[in-house]
Amino acid sequence: MKIKKGVEVLKVFNTLGARNNIYPTLIYDKENAVLVDTGYPGHFSIIKDQLANANVPVEKLTKIIITHQDFDHMGSLSSFLERADCQIEVLAHEADVDYIEGEITPIKLTDEFMRKIRKMIDSYSVKKQKELNHILDNYYVKVNKALKDGEEIPICGGIIVIHVPGHTPGHICLYLKKHKILIAGDALTMIKGELYGPDRFITPDLELALKSLNKLNNYNIKTVVCYHGGIYNKNVNKRIEEIIKDELNEIS
Q: Which residues bind Zn ion (CB under 5 A)?
A: 72, 186
Q: Do you know the residue count of the chain?
A: 252
| Minimal distance, residue 103 CB to Zn ion, in Å | 21
Q: Is 102 left (phi over 0), alpha (psi -120 to 50) or beta?
A: left
| Closest CB to Zn ion among residues 6, 25 | 25
- Contact criterion met (CB below 8 Å) for 67 and 25: no
What is the DSSP-derived secondary structure letter of residue 59? G
| Closest CB to Zn ion among residues 15, 32 | 15
Which stretches within 57-216 are classed as H helix?
Answer: 71-74, 77-83, 97-100, 111-122, 126-137, 206-212
| Minimal distance, residue 135 CB to Zn ion, in Å | 17
| Minimal distance, residue 198 CB to Zn ion, in Å | 9
Instruction: Tell me whether strands 181-185 and 223-226 are parallel, antiparallel or unpaired.
Output: parallel
| Minimal distance, residue 41 CB to Zn ion, in Å | 14
| Closest CB to Zn ion among residues 56, 100 | 100
Residue 251: in which H helix or E strand, if any? helix 236-251
CA distances, 209 to each of 163, 168, 216, 248 (Å)? 10, 9, 12, 10
* Closest C-alpha to 33, from 50, 14, 13: 50
| Closest CB to Zn ion among residues 6, 67 | 67
| Minimal distance, residue 73 CB to Zn ion, in Å | 6
| Minimal distance, residue 78 CB to Zn ion, in Å | 17
| Closest CB to Zn ion among residues 63, 171 | 171
| Closest CB to Zn ion among residues 6, 39 | 39
Angstrom distance (rounded) from CA 210 to CA 164: 9
